[in-house]
């Protein structure tokens, strides 16, 4: 027996036999119970049908029968062999009996085969004969059912024995089919290994086939593991090289965009300066030549200041494009910087656009640059105007104090329009230099990138929330100076770097 359990086939065969010996007894008992219940149900249904038939006959003709005739009916039931006991009891306690065995005594109805402790199945049926209630009691021989159950038990044993024999032969054939591929795989692994083992491989399995197969496959595994380590190392080196290449390409593309932006900004600055220089010179000359009480002197001075501001904006854009963060920083009120710019924005807005301002009551001290903040507001409002140029709408400009995404208190600026809105894909690219959805000739793709660069240079953040067909909201957040009155220029500069 020990040698049988050392092989896969032996263990499978033993397992099959063990399973059968565990399952066959409950299977036999279950089948026997099913057969006995089936035979019992058939017997009970037949005797109840016969009792109903006799009862119907007595209810129909019993009123016309005398005692002798009733006795003849009961005797006929027993003599015909349908029952071994018959009794009819009336309301007057008159009893007529007929039974095959004088020792039979009715002790109550049975509800299952062999439940009364004898071999007779009793049942009773109430009858209405001539207006009186009488009870018909019958007893039937159960031995035929018990004999059928015994025969069924013998047949079940034969069937289960045949099943055990067939299944065991099938298990033997199955084991042979299972072990043949394993033996072939063992021979193939030996051929692949191509040599002797350097060291034996121990295994917890007691199966002979598994031990031999483990030894062969372990030799192959050792060689394949070495090759796999080398392959993984090469893959890792290639992936690292590829990631480095992609990172360098991304940096190169970004640098190229920035250089192109700087070149374009330099050209724009040069052209603006060419236009602004004569404006400044002629305006300054005209102011000097006008008398102090001239009514147009004040207008020329306002034009001169606007030209100076334009010149400062151009210079700041140029500094931003070249990544030169050396612009002047000072403590300013965000509300004042925004309000001054919005005053110019109103003059540029068409009649179908309504500009709404809401700056709150609290001051918003921040460390920044008025000219750069003015450029941010101007570009955001220009972008909103372009979004609403077809259908018009309201342009809402708000400033307030509130928490940022990280919970810190911030000075907030929002510009909300009721324009065409943007999809999520477009919104994710609007701050890329030269990206624009406008037709050729209507946009350079520099407005929002310049805004983004200025805000980052001032240590702020900008986010956008847009829905197609509804509109867009740009929200800008800057660090808030906690004690404006006590802040020194050095503290302000430090605040800009936080």
Q: Among 309, 298, 321, which Cα is nearest to 377's?
A: 309
pLDDT of residue 397: 94
Which of 40-44, 54-58, 220-224, 429-433 is the most confident on average?
Answer: 54-58
What is the dotted CATH code of the domain comprising 327-496? 3.30.565.10
Spatial separation of the C-alpha atoms in residues 477 and 352, rounded to whole Å: 29
Beta-carbon contacts of residue 450 (< 8 Å; ≥ 6 apart): 317, 320, 321, 375, 379
pLDDT over 60 at 267, yes or no:
yes
Binning pLDDT at 50, 70 and 90, where does residue 117 land?
low
pLDDT tens for 126-180 read 988 877 888 888 888 888 777 877 787 788 788 878 877 887 787 777 777 666 6
pLDDT tens for 338-376 read 998 888 888 778 888 899 999 988 889 999 888 888 889
pLDDT of residue 177: 66
3-state class (DSSP) for residue 441 = coil
pLDDT of residue 356: 92
Please, which contacts does 432-436 make with residues 24 or more away whose CB atoms are closer than 8 Å?
432/257, 433/257, 433/258, 433/260, 433/261, 434/257, 434/260, 434/261
**How do strand 365-368 and strand 393-403 relate by DSSP bridges?**
unpaired
Structure token digits, residue 302: 């306002």
pLDDT tens for 448-464 read 887 888 888 888 999 99
Q: Would you tell me the crossing angle of helices 334-348 and 370-387 to the nearest 10 degrees? A: 40
Q: Distance between alpha carbon 439 and the CA centroid of its chain, in Å? A: 41
In angstroms, the first-to-last Cα distance of the chain is: 83
Bridge partners for 469 per DSSP: none
E strand residue ranges, 193-257: none
Which fold is adopted by the domain 2-167?
Answer: Beta-Lactamase (3.30.450)
Residue pair 417/466 in contact by the 8 Å Cβ criterion: no
Percent of all residues in the chain with a pLDDT value above 90, rounded to a whole number: 11
3-state class (DSSP) for residue 476 = strand
Binning pLDDT at 50, 70 and 90, where does residue 428 land?
confident
Binning pLDDT at 50, 70 and 90, where does residue 96 land?
low
pLDDT of residue 197: 42
Domain(s) of CATH 3.30.565.10: residues in the chain:
327-496
Percent of all residues in the chain with a pLDDT value above 70, rounded to a whole number: 71
pLDDT over 70 at 16, yes or no:
yes
Calculate the average pLDDT of the chain: 76
Which of 156-170, 273-287, 392-406, 440-454 is the most confident on average?
Answer: 392-406
3-state class (DSSP) for residue 20 = helix
Section 416-435 average pLDDT: 84
pLDDT of residue 1: 45
pLDDT over 80 at 309, yes or no:
no
Structure token digits, residue 104: 């039979």
pLDDT tens for 201-232 read 445 455 566 566 666 666 665 666 577 668 77
How many residues are present in the chain?
Answer: 498
Spatial separation of the C-alpha atoms in residues 213 and 444, rounded to whole Å: 72
pLDDT over 50 at 279, yes or no:
yes
pLDDT of residue 489: 45
Residue pair 387/417 in contact by the 8 Å Cβ criterion: yes
Binning pLDDT at 50, 70 and 90, where does residue 488 land?
very low
With b for 16 or more beta-carbon neighbours within 10 A and e for fewer, the 204-223 pattern comes to eeebebbbbbbbbbbbeeee
Domain(s) of CATH 3.30.450: residues in the chain:
2-167
Q: Which helix (H) or strand (E) holds 277?
A: helix 208-289
3-state class (DSSP) for residue 464 = strand
pLDDT over 80 at 314, yes or no:
no
pLDDT tens for 464-482 read 999 998 999 999 999 998 7
């Amino acid at each position: 027996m020990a040698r049988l359990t050392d092989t896969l086939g032996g263990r499978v065969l033993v397992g099959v036999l063990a399973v059968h010996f565990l399952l066959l007894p409950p299977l036999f008992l279950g089948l026997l119970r099913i057969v006995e219940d089936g035979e019992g149900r058939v017997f009970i249904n037949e005797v109840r049908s016969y009792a109903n038939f006799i009862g119907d006959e007595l209810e129909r003709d019993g009123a016309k029968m005398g005692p002798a005739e009733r006795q003849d009916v009961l005797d006929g039931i027993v003599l015909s062999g349908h029952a071994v006991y018959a009794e009819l009891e009336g309301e007057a306690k008159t009893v007529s009996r007929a039974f095959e065995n004088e020792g039979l005594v009715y002790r109550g109805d049975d509800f299952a085969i062999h439940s009364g402790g004898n071999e007779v199945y009793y049942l009773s049926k109430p009858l209405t004969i001539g207006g009186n209630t009488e009870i018909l009691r019958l007893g039937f021989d159960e031995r035929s059912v018990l004999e059928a159950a015994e025969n069924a038990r013998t047949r079940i044993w034969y069937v289960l024995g045949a099943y055990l024999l067939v299944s065991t032969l099938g298990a033997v054939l199955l084991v042979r089919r299972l072990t043949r591929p394993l033996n072939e795989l063992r021979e193939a692994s030996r051929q692949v290994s191509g040599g002797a083992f350097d060291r034996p491989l121990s295994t917890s399995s007691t199966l002979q086939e598994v031990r031999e197969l483990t030894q062969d496959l372990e030799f192959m595994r050792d060689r394949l593991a070495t090759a796999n380590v080398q392959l993984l190392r090469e893959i890792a080196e290639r992936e690292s090289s590829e990631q480095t290449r992609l990172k360098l390409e991304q940096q190169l593309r970004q640098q190229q965009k920035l250089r192109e932006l700087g070149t374009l900004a330099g050209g724009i600055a040069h052209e603006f300066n060419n236009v602004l220089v004569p404006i400044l010179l002629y305006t300054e000359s005209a102011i000097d030549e006008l008398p102090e009480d001239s009514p147009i002197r004040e207008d020329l001075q306002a034009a001169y200041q606007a030209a100076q501001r334009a010149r400062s904006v151009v210079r700041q854009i140029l500094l931003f494009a070249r990544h030169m963060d050396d612009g002047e920083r000072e403590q300013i009120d965000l509300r004042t910087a925004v309000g001054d710019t919005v005053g110019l924005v109103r003059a540029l807005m068409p009649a179908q656009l309504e500009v709404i301002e809401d700056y709150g009551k609290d001051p918003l001290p921040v460390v920044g640059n008025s000219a750069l903040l003015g450029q941010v507001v101007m570009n955001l409002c220009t972008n909103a105007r372009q979004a609403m140029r077809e259908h018009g709408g309201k342009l809402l400009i708000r400033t307030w104090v509130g928490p940022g995404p990280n919970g810190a208190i911030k000075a907030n600026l929002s510009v909300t329009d009721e324009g065409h809105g943007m999809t999520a894909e477009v919104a994710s690219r609007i701050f890329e230099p030269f990206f624009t959805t406008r037709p050729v000739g209507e946009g350079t793709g520099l407005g929002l990138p310049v805004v983004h660069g200025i805000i980052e240079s001032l240590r702020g953040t900008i986010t956008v929330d847009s829905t197609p067909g509804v509109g867009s909201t740009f929200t800008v957040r800057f660090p808030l100076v906690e004690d404006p009155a006590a802040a020194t220029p050095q503290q302000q500069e430090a605040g800009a770097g936080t």
